[in-house]
Amino acid sequence: MSEVGFIEALNSINQTKKNIIRDSNSPLVAEKLYTPFQVSRSLSYHADSILFVNELNERGIKPYSVSNLMHYEFLLYVIPPKKRFAKWIKPDKEEIVEYIMDYFKINLDQAIAYKNLLSDEDKTQLTKAYKSRYQNQRG
List the chain domain ranges. Answer: 6-78, 95-138
**Which CA distances in Å does 40 have to 6, 57, 61, 72, 99?**
11, 9, 11, 10, 34
pLDDT digits (tens, 9 = 90+) for 10-47: 999 999 999 999 999 999 999 999 999 999 999 999 99
Helices (H), the chain: 6-11, 27-33, 36-43, 50-55, 68-78, 95-104, 108-117, 120-138
Share of the chain above pLDDT 90, in %: 47
Nearest partner of 49 among 14, 73, 9, 5, judged by Cα: 14
Higher per-residue pLDDT: 73 or 66: 73
pLDDT of residue 57: 86
Amino acid identity at 126 = L
Report pTM. Answer: 0.64
